[in-house]
Amino acid sequence: MICDKCRVLCEGTCPVCGSARRLRESDPSEPAHLITLNATQAMLVEPVLADTGVPYFKKGSIGGGLTAQIGMMREMFRFFVPVSGRERYREAIEAVFGEDAEVMRLLHEFD
């Protein structure tokens, strides 16, 4: 199941917004939330994602104009990948950041 609002894959209720009503069957090609990272972590992890060859996109938590004022380092980035490619991404991140407890925690944040 996927939450229509947060795009988090889950069962029962969404761990992000707590809604059960918004859950529906996921489509293999639609984007699902992979991981949320701060700017420093995103800089390290993004090249690993790019290397997998599966499409992904990231969304900053703050709008473009505000980022410059508040500061890049405080921005959080949410990464989304197709449902069907999600396991490949997770394995790629685990292969490189398996020793990084914080990245591993974030990768499994909503499991």
Q: With respect to Zn ion, which residue has the nearer C-beta, 17 or 62?
A: 17
Beta carbon of residue 7, minimum distance to Zn ion (angstroms, whole number): 8
Element (H, E) at 18: none
Q: By C-beta, is 19 or 40 nearer to Zn ion?
A: 19
* CB closer to Zn ion, 7 vs 45: 7
- Minimal distance, residue 48 CB to Zn ion, in Å: 26
Q: How far is CA 102 from CA 6, 26, 105, in A?
A: 22, 28, 5
35 Cβ partners below 8 Å, 6+ apart?
A: 45, 78, 79, 93, 103, 106, 107, 109
Rounded least distance, CB 26 to Zn ion, Å: 13
Distance CA(95)–CA(82), nearest Å, equals 20
Rank residues 6 and 93 by Cβ distance to Zn ion and give the closer one.
6
Burial class (CB in 10 A: 0-12, 13-18, 19+), 49: buried
Smallest distance from the beta carbon of 22 to Zn ion, in angstroms? 6
Q: Which residues bind Zn ion (CB under 5 A)?
A: 3, 5-6, 14, 16-17
